[in-house]
Amino acid sequence: MATLGYVGLGVMGSRIAKRLLDGGHTVIGYNRTKSKAQWLLDAGMKWGETPRAVAEKADVSFTMVTNTDALHAVVAGSDGILAGLGPGKVYVDMSTVSPSASRDLAAQVASRGAHMLDSPVSGSVITLEEGKLSLMVGGDRTIFDKVKPILQAIGPKVTYVGGNGLAVSMKIATNLSLAVQMLAFSEGVLLAEKSGIPRETAVEVLLNSVIASPMVKYRGPFVLRMPEEAWFDVNMMQKDMSLALEMGRRLDVPLPTTAATNEFLTAARGMGMAKQDFAVVFEVLARMAGAS
């Protein structure tokens, strides 16, 4: 069992930290708002006063934050994670950020004699709680092999994809499909509904059809009732879609469905829905269809 650090105890990060605790590891956590982590402290997690303090005490430190700017905020400065790293330590970032920023950070980590992996996850709260989360990992293969047993406490499918920054690239390539699928599902529901089929019936049929991916199965019911707490809100999804579009321009890969779906996320923000789960693109389309 290792001593692990976890910085960023949001919706997903907190539950990942809990799985690591349940796996028998000692976990030292830090979150900007300590009260949100109280349930983890009650469950046995230790507290670090700063990200640096977490990294100094941990063999392997993790972060999961909202975007590239938030990542810089927890790694830089005298109280940041970088300041707490040294030879032999491993740092794993699970955030979805710019691949180039991730590679730059890996170089800074290496300059301190430590090692960095980027390891974003694919799945949602329910996937994580069911023990079905999958992880993709970029970085040095030897370090990956060393840390893999710890990562498997988070989710059973852990895939090495290549060097630093490539796991983040793979996550962006994965996430663009989530919003695109949700918009296509919404189109199907509304077409059926306006044909005279009750919305509940349309959802039931689609969730038991060949189009029902795992994401559609757990997020499709949101068109009937949105969750009180967003699993992955509009702002977060649009951040990932923007990263995908940026990659597409740089790599000369056309992303037409990503671009179109991104406009529905912009519309959701304009309608005051930025903090709702990105499944709210259904509501945007429903209003356009006169079926809100």
Q: What is the pLDDT of residues 243-264, one digit of tens each?
A: 999 999 999 999 999 999 999 9
pLDDT tens-digit map of 165-213: 999 999 999 999 999 999 999 999 999 999 999 999 999 999 999 999 9
Exposed, middle or buried by CB within 10 Å (0-12, 13-18, 19+), for 176? buried
Identify the CATH number of the domain defined by range 3-163. Answer: 3.40.50.720
Other Cβ atoms less than 10 A from the Cβ of 133: the count is: 24
CB 77 within 8 A of CB 102: no
Q: How far apart are CA 58 and CA 79, in angstroms?
A: 15
> Which string of b and e fits 87-107 if b means at least 16 CB within 10 Å?
eebbbbbbbbbbbebbbebbe
Other Cβ atoms less than 10 A from the Cβ of 86: the count is: 11
Q: What is the pTM of this model?
A: 0.89
The domain segmentation of the chain, as residue ranges, is: 3-163, 170-288
* Residue 228: per-residue pLDDT: 87
| CA separation, residue 63 to residues 4, 104, 199 (Å) | 11, 16, 40
CB 241 within 8 A of CB 179: yes
Backbone angles phi, psi at 43, to 5 degrees: -90, 0
Residue whose structure tokens are 């269809």:
289
Superfamily classification of domain 170-288: N-(1-d-carboxylethyl)-l-norvaline Dehydrogenase; domain 2 (1.10.1040.10)
| All residues at 6 or more sequence positions from 264 whose CB lies less than 8 Å from its CB, including other chains | 179, 183, 281, 284, 285
Task: DSSP for 211-246, please give it.
Answer: T--HHHHHHGGGGTS--SS-SSBHHHHHHHHHHHHH
Q: Which amino acid is at 19?
A: R
Q: What is the pLDDT along the chain (292 residues), one digit of tens a residue?
A: 789 999 999 889 999 999 999 999 999 999 989 999 999 999 999 999 999 999 999 999 999 998 999 999 999 999 999 999 999 999 999 999 999 999 999 999 999 999 999 999 988 788 888 888 899 999 999 999 999 999 999 999 999 999 999 999 999 999 999 999 999 999 999 999 999 999 999 999 999 999 999 899 999 999 999 998 888 999 999 999 999 999 999 999 999 999 999 999 999 999 999 999 999 999 999 999 998 7
| All residues at 6 or more sequence positions from 127 whose CB lies less than 8 Å from its CB, including other chains | 133, 214, 218
Backbone angles phi, psi at 27, to 5 degrees: -120, 125
Residue 2 token pair: 């290792």
Residue 252 token pair: 């000369």
Closest by Cα among 157, 138, 155, 160 to 23: 155
